[in-house]
Structure 1
Amino acid sequence: MRRWLALLVAATTSLVLIALLVPMALLIRAVAENGAMSRATAAAESVAVDVGAPDLTLAVERISRPVTVFLPGGGTVGAQAAESDAVRLAATGRSVTAETSGGREVLVSAQSPDGTAVIRVFVPDAELMRGVREAWAALALLGLGLVVLGIVLADRLALAVTRPVDGLARVSHRLAGGDLSARAEPGGPPEVRSVALALNHLAGRIDELLVAERESVADLSHRLRTPLTGLRLDAESLRDPEEAARVQARVDALERAVSSVITEARRRSAGRDSCDAAQVVGERVRFWSVLAEDQGREVSISLPDGPLPVAVGAEELAACVDALLGNVFAHTPEGVSMSVRLRPRPPGALLTVEDSSPGFEPALLERGNSGGGSTGLGLDIARRTAESAGGGLTISRSRDGGARVEAAFSSP
């Protein structure tokens, strides 16, 4: 926009200057020519007064320009000049001006006792154009300066419009990228300020809607996981092993479906947040410790002394921890111990979940190939959460022969 406005102002200013300066240049040339011709005519008339007088030669010599007097008898006084057709026309009693080589000649007829004399005053081109080229150069510089000034002013004006518009574009891109804290700074013309205020209002409304959706998802997670945990405990308390296994499988399938829905809803509504991983991991481990105590599982936890920020929202990280811990409960027998360690790791944090169940096979925990009829969705949720935070997830064998799952997260 800045370039087009500059070109528009340059073209408009140039047209106006051409319409103004060209007639002015022609006027300056006409004034210079008229002045030179007026001075030549005055000189010729001053000599015409002395035609027929004895001091005609002295009168001609007093003129500081080439003057020739053609006498009636065919003689001349003053500078040598050829008798042209214009001179012969002036000899009939008419005063004329004619173009000649190198300039113009002013011919004034004067009556003498012997007949009509013609006074010729030569005006060179240099005198006709005296000061004209300098004036034209001054006009050209003036026009160029006005065009440059117009372009500079247009660029400043365009910048006052384009800078707020560029700011609006950057804010919209940040909002599209998930940065819901981005806000536009109102500025520029009233219309642009109105757009900035509308964009800020839209961003605030989007933020409010996403907060409401995250609260709904959190409430859904709380309402569904607690009954599922109770169903799992009820299934484990059944005396018939086959019936317990069947109900347990149904509970597992239901839990995976609920986890999928909750995680997908969290993923859609989550912004580019950050959280304290130490606090979130500690809270989720305490939540699962109740079930671990009922199953006779020993849970060891190692957390850093201070906060450990990571580039993932608290709800997303909580879902990731739930998926990793739930995987241990779902795929290991009761009484199998587990450990949870969270430690700093440049440029973020590393979460490690281990169990001591023997006979671990890494391939069984890949999505679509897990044991016990599971789809491996829990680990896939953890993997996507870690990758969205700039990290990743790895699976290996622990020192006790069980599974070690490590999820890396980047710092915000």
Structure 2
Amino acid sequence: MRSRLALLVAATTSLVLVAMLVPLALLVRATAENNAITQATAEAQSVGAVIGTVDEPTLALAVSRAEAAGGHDVAVFQPGAAPVSEAVELARRGRSFTAVSPSGGREVLVAVQGPGGTSVVQVVLTPDDLTRGVGETWLGLLLLGVVLIGLGVALADRLAVAITRPMTALARVSHRLAGGDLEARAVPGGPPEVRSAGLALNHLAGRIGELLAEEREMVADISHRLRTPLTGLRLEAESLRDPSEADRIAARVDALEKAVTSVILDARRRTREKGSCDAAVVVRERAEFWSVLAEEQERAFSVTVPPVPVEVPVSAPDLAAALDALFENVFAHTDEGVPFSVRLTPRELVVEDDGPGFGPAALERGHSGAGSTGLGLDIVRRTVPETRLERSPNGGARVVLTLVTS
């Protein structure tokens, strides 16, 4: 914006200066020409005043003095002299005028009436005499125009800075808000319009914070309400006659309660904390939990985890939630008995099965294609953005989570 505004001012100033200085330059040239002709006419008249009153030597001396004073060629044509130019012949008829000389300059001709006839005084002006001082004046006008354009550009740049600086500050604040810093606020400044935009951005940031707080409390309230049916489910599990069945259902209720608690905590947190964890521990724990259901459905379930810790930049609850979403998809969208596996490397986590597979649209929130909400893989994508879907060697689904990027 600064460069465009400077260019606009430079162009506008140039047009104004051209419209003003070109006529002024022509006027300077016309004035210099008129002054030279006026001076030459005065020289001719001074010589003509002594014609007929002095002798020839004295007249020659007067001509010499006139030439020395004005720097022009002065000639006197007495009556009866040999034929000269047409301009001199015309002046002998008693007419004084100015004519164009053969060299491109001017001839100032003054007719002087005397007892013996009409004498003519001729003063010759060269082209340099007609433009003396014009070049220097034009150069001064050019320098004046350049200085004025420079001042205009400098003032335009200062004006642009006064506009762009607060706008740049607004852009920085908006980027901070987009990055999750809801405490970022703009300091209104600059023109009234920019100040108004800054106040509007601050109001928007405050409103976003209020809406997010309301949403977190709403989600937390809904999640909290789930505790009542969970308590009832726990009591029902404890009343079962089969102790093993009661323990199994109670374990499921405990896991569900932990998930609900995690939802409440996440809803109340201002931002998601990155954190880190040992992925090997999380994978073993979640694989052990889901292996019970896999055994009931007679599914072959293989787990490959390095014997050493695998530190990843994802918190343990988030990674566990992503794994649970992937395992749940396997159980929900493949037939009983379909095998699946999980494999952890220092860089990737791979979950694959031998089911029908799915398309890339499954990574979009709300797109499932299998009759579900489509939120499971969205949880995975938000936990590990570098997630891709592939076909397993047996044609099923293969989900690859890149936990560590180079």
TM-score interval, normalised by the smaller of the two chains:
0.5 to 0.7
The reply to whether residue 192 of structure 1 matches residue 194 of structure 2 is: yes
Q: Does the aligned pair in 1 maintain the 2:94–2:111 contact within 8 Å?
A: yes
The reply to whether residue 59 of structure 1 matches residue 62 of structure 2 is: yes
Matched with 1:395 is none
The reply to whether residue 91 of structure 1 matches residue 92 of structure 2 is: yes
Matched with 1:387 is 384
Matching residue's letter, 1:60: V
Alpha-carbon distance change, 265 to 11 in structure 1, aligned in 2, over 3 angstroms = farther
The reply to whether residue 274 of structure 1 matches residue 266 of structure 2 is: no
Say which of 120, 123, 126 aligns to 1:121: 123
Matched with 1:168 is 170
Q: Does the aligned pair in 1 maintain the 2:223–2:264 contact within 8 Å?
A: no
Instruction: Report the alpha carbon displacement of residue 376 of structure 1 after superposing the two structures with TM.
Output: 13
Matching residue's letter, 2:380: R
Q: Does the aligned pair in 1 maintain the 2:274–2:314 contact within 8 Å?
A: no
Report SS of the residue matched to 1:92: coil
Report SS of the residue matched to 2:226: helix
Matched with 1:294 is none
Say which of 149, 152, 164 aligns to 1:150: 152
The reply to whether residue 72 of structure 1 matches residue 71 of structure 2 is: no
Matched with 1:298 is none
Matched with 2:10 is 10
Instruction: Report the alpha carbon displacement of residue 272 of structure 1 after superposing the two structures with TM.
Output: 4.4
Matching residue's letter, 2:59: L
Q: Does the aligned pair in 1 maintain the 2:276–2:316 contact within 8 Å?
A: no
Q: Distance in 1 between matches of 2:378 and 2:227?
A: 16
> What's the Cα RMSD here?
4.9
Instruction: Report the alpha carbon displacement of residue 147 of structure 1 after superposing the two structures with TM.
Output: 1.6
The reply to whether residue 19 of structure 1 matches residue 19 of structure 2 is: yes
Q: How many residues align?
A: 330
Instruction: Report the alpha carbon displacement of residue 156 of structure 1 after superposing the two structures with TM.
Output: 2.2
Q: Does the aligned pair in 2 maintain the 1:327–1:378 contact within 8 Å?
A: no
Matched with 1:141 is 143
TM-score between the two structures when normalised by the length of structure 2: 0.64
Q: Does the aligned pair in 2 maintain the 1:386–1:408 contact within 8 Å?
A: no
Q: Distance in 1 between matches of 2:200 and 2:294?
A: 55
Matched with 2:392 is none
Report SS of the residue matched to 1:35: helix
Alpha-carbon distance change, 364 to 36 in structure 1, aligned in 2, over 3 angstroms = closer
Q: In the TM superposition, what whole-angstrom CA distance separates every residue of 1:138-185 from its partner, at most 9, and x where no partner exists?
A: 211211221232122212212321332233344335434544343323
Instruction: Report the alpha carbon displacement of residue 125 of structure 1 after superposing the two structures with TM.
Output: 0.8
Q: In the TM superposition, what whole-angstrom CA distance separates every residue of 1:70-98 from its partner, at most 9, and x where no partner exists?
A: 110115xxxxxx83222222111121011
Instruction: Report the alpha carbon displacement of residue 43 of structure 1 after superposing the two structures with TM.
Output: 1.2
Matched with 2:214 is 212
Instruction: Report the alpha carbon displacement of residue 10 of structure 1 after superposing the two structures with TM.
Output: 2.4
Q: Gapped runs of 5+ residues in structure 2?
A: 296-308, 321-326, 338-371, 389-400
Q: Which moved more, 1:378-387 or 1:229-238?
A: 378-387
Matching residue's letter, 1:199: L
Matching residue's letter, 2:220: A
The reply to whether residue 42 of structure 1 matches residue 42 of structure 2 is: yes
Matched with 2:333 is 368
Q: Distance in 1 between matches of 2:86 and 2:374?
A: 114
Matching residue's letter, 1:274: E
Instruction: Report the alpha carbon displacement of residue 47 of structure 1 after superposing the two structures with TM.
Output: 1.0
Q: Distance in 2 between matches of 1:49 and 1:178?
A: 98
Instruction: Report the alpha carbon displacement of residue 377 of structure 1 after superposing the two structures with TM.
Output: 9.6
Instruction: Report the alpha carbon displacement of residue 190 of structure 1 after superposing the two structures with TM.
Output: 1.7
Matching residue's letter, 1:5: L
Alpha-carbon distance change, 210 to 135 in structure 1, aligned in 2, over 3 angstroms = same
Instruction: Report the alpha carbon displacement of residue 226 of structure 1 after superposing the two structures with TM.
Output: 5.5
Matching residue's letter, 1:59: A
Alpha-carbon distance change, 382 to 326 in structure 1, aligned in 2, over 3 angstroms = farther
Report SS of the residue matched to 1:163: helix
The reply to whether residue 237 of structure 1 matches residue 236 of structure 2 is: no
Q: Distance in 1 between matches of 2:170 and 2:114?
A: 91
Alpha-carbon distance change, 48 to 380 in structure 1, aligned in 2, over 3 angstroms = closer
Instruction: Report the alpha carbon displacement of residue 130 of structure 1 after superposing the two structures with TM.
Output: 0.8
Q: Does the aligned pair in 1 maintain the 2:44–2:121 contact within 8 Å?
A: yes
Instruction: Report the alpha carbon displacement of residue 32 of structure 1 after superposing the two structures with TM.
Output: 1.3
Q: Does the aligned pair in 2 maintain the 1:105–1:121 contact within 8 Å?
A: yes
Report SS of the residue matched to 1:94: coil
Q: Distance in 2 between matches of 1:244 and 1:179?
A: 47
Instruction: Report the alpha carbon displacement of residue 99 of structure 1 after superposing the two structures with TM.
Output: 1.1
Q: Distance in 2 between matches of 1:222 and 1:264?
A: 7
Report SS of the residue matched to 1:87: helix
Matched with 1:29 is 29
Q: Distance in 1 between matches of 2:61 and 2:20?
A: 48
Q: Distance in 2 between matches of 1:377 and 1:232?
A: 29
Matching residue's letter, 2:94: G
Q: Does the aligned pair in 1 maintain the 2:96–2:110 contact within 8 Å?
A: yes
Q: In the TM superposition, what whole-angstrom CA distance separates every residue of 1:6-59 from its partner, at most 9, and x where no partner exists?
A: 333223212321232122212211221122112211211111122132121121
Report SS of the residue matched to 1:110: strand
Q: Gapped runs of 5+ residues in structure 1?
A: 76-81, 282-301, 303-319, 334-342, 354-361, 393-406
Matching residue's letter, 1:10: A
Q: Which moved more, 1:170-179 or 1:206-215?
A: 170-179
Q: Does the aligned pair in 1 maintain the 2:274–2:313 contact within 8 Å?
A: no
Q: Distance in 2 between matches of 1:125 and 1:377?
A: 93
Q: Does the aligned pair in 1 maintain the 2:97–2:109 contact within 8 Å?
A: yes
Instruction: Report the alpha carbon displacement of residue 332 of structure 1 after superposing the two structures with TM.
Output: 9.1
Report SS of the residue matched to 1:111: strand
Q: In the TM superposition, what whole-angstrom CA distance separates every residue of 1:347-379 from its partner, at most 9, and x where no partner exists?
A: 5666787xxxxxxxx89967634979xx99998
Identity %: 50
